[in-house]
Amino acid sequence: MNRKWHYAWIILLVTFAALLAVQGTRLSFGAFIEPWENEFSLDRGTISLVSTLSFLIYGISQPIAGRLIDRFGARTILLASTLLVGLSMLLTQWITSPWQLFLLYGVVASIGVGGASNVAATVVVTNWFNERRGLAFGVLEAGFSVGQMLIVPASLYFIQWFDWRMAVGVLGLFLLIVILPVLLIFLRNHPSEKGLQPIGGSQVQDSADPPSTSAGHLPVRDIFRSRTFWYLILPFFICGFTTTGLMDTHLIPFAQLCGFSTAMTGSAVSLLAAFNTLGTLVSGFIADRWSSRKFLAMLYALRAVSIGFLLVFVSDPELLLIFVAHPWLLLVFAISFGLVDFATVAPTQLLATQHFQRYSMGLVMGWLFLSHQAGSALGAYLPGMLYERTGDYTLAFYLSVLLLAVAAVLNLMMPETTAAGKSREAA
C-alpha cells in the first residue's frame, strides 16, 4: 500500500481500454445506418430494429453477466466478451442478407457487449478501490466516450474511403489482436492476486439500506422492495433512452437529414465524445465530494436543456434553415450534450455501491444496467418509428425533454447516503 504506483491504476487503465474498444464499436452503429439501408434496401425503422434488438439483448445479458462475474470473476467475463465481439464484427463483413445482420450484430455481438460493460467495470472498481471510487468510475465511463470519439469518426471515414465491410473488419481485428492480449496479460480480479490491498485499505461497510440477513447474501427480493432502488433505476432507464438510444443511434442520421457533410458530422460526433470524456472525468471527481443524488438531478436537467436547444430550431422551418446554414450550431449542441452525456453513470454507480453494497454487486449492477439498455432499446426504436411517420425527429426530442424532467425529480426523491455527509432517510 506504500508503493508510489498502485497496481489498481494499471487495472483501471486496461479496463478503460476494453470499454473503449468494445463500447466504441457498439456506439459506431449510427455510422452504419445509411450504408446498411442502401446495401439491404431497408427503411430507417427496420434498421432501428437492429439497434433495438441489440440493446434488448445487451440489457437482458446484464443480470446474467452479473451472476457470471460473481461466479467466475470479471477478468474471465471481460476476456470472453471481447473475444465474442471481435469475432462477430469480423464475420459481419461477409453477411449478404438482413437476417444475418440481426443475428450477428443484434444478438451475438450484443451478448459480448453486455459482458464487457459497466457491470464488469463496476465490480473491478469495487474490488480495487475503496477510496477515489467516484474518480475511478468516471475514468472507466470516459472509456465509452473516448471510444465514441475515436471509433465512430474512424468508422465514418473508413466507410467513406473504402466501404462498410472494411470498417467492421478493422474493428474486429482491433479487438482480437490488440485489446484481447492486453486484458489477458494485465487484468486481475482482486488485489490479493498481486499481494495487495485495495486503494484505501479494507472495505468499510456503509449502506443506506439496512441488512436483513447476512452481509453479501441478502435476498434479491429486498432490492425490489426498496423505493431507493426505483428512484435510481427509473432515471437510469431514461438516461439510456436519451443517450445511447436517441443520440448515439440517431444523431448521425439527424445530421445527415439536415444536410451536414460527413466531415462536419464526424467533427460533431468527435466533439461530443471529447466533451463527454471531460464530463465523465469531472463527474467522477464531483461524485466523490458532493451529493450524488443532487448532482444527478442537475445533470438530467441540463441534458433536457441541451436537447431543448435542438428543439428551438427543428420546431420552426425558418429557424431550421438558420441551423442548417450555420454548422457551428451543431457543434454547440455537441459540446453541451457531451458534457452531460455519460456524466450520469459515475454518480449512479456510486449511489448503487453505497446503498446496495451488502447485496450481490454483480446482480445489482446487472439489473441497473438492464434498465439502462431497455431505455436504450426504446430510445433507438421509437425515434426511428416516429421519423417514418412524421419525417423528422421533433416528437422524439419533445418526449426526451419531458422524460428527463421526470428523471431529475425522481433522483431528488432519493435518500442521502452517510458517505455524502448527510443524514440517512428511510428507504
pLDDT at 204 over 50: no
Q: What is the DSSP letter of 163?
A: -
Q: Which of 58, 111, 62 is nearest to 84 (CA)?
A: 111
Residue 209 binned pLDDT confidence (cut-offs 50, 70, 90): very low
pLDDT confidence of residue 18: 92
More confident residue, 40 or 422: 40
pLDDT confidence of residue 229: 85
Q: Average pLDDT, stretch 44-61? A: 81
Q: Dump pLDDT digits (tens) for 272-289.
A: 888 888 888 888 778 777
Residue 327 binned pLDDT confidence (cut-offs 50, 70, 90): confident
Q: What is the dihedral of CA 117, 118, 124, 129, to 10 degrees?
A: 150
Q: Average pLDDT, stretch 47-60? A: 82
Q: Which of 211, 271, 266, 274 is nearest to 427 (CA)?
A: 211
Q: What type of residue sits at position 106?
A: G
Q: How many helices (H) and strands (E) would you count in the chain?
A: 20, 0
Task: Give φ, ψ of 43 to 5 degrees.
Answer: -90, 175
Alpha carbons 193 and 8: distance in angstroms, whole number = 12
Q: Going from the N-terminus, what domains does the chain have, and what CATH number goes with each?
A: 7-190+221-416 (1.20.1250.20)
Alpha helices per DSSP H over 162-291: 164-174, 180-186, 220-224, 227-240, 248-258, 262-287
pLDDT at 215 over 60: no
Q: Ranked by mean pLDDT, which of 17-31, 80-94, 364-378 comes out on top?
A: 80-94
Q: Average pLDDT, stretch 402-413? A: 93
Q: What is the reported pTM?
A: 0.69
Q: Which three cell numbers mark 224?
A: 425490489
Q: Average pLDDT, stretch 49-70? A: 82
User: Please, what sign has the CA dihedral across residues 95, 98, 103, 109?
Assistant: positive
pLDDT confidence of residue 203: 54
Adjacent-strand bridge partners of 129: 199
Adjacent-strand bridge partners of 199: 129
CA atoms within 13 A on the CB side of 315: 10
CA atoms within 13 A on the CB side of 88: 24
Q: Which of 404, 380, 346, 74 is nearest to 253 (CA)?
A: 380
Residue 17 binned pLDDT confidence (cut-offs 50, 70, 90): very high
Cα 173 from chain centroid (whole Å): 23
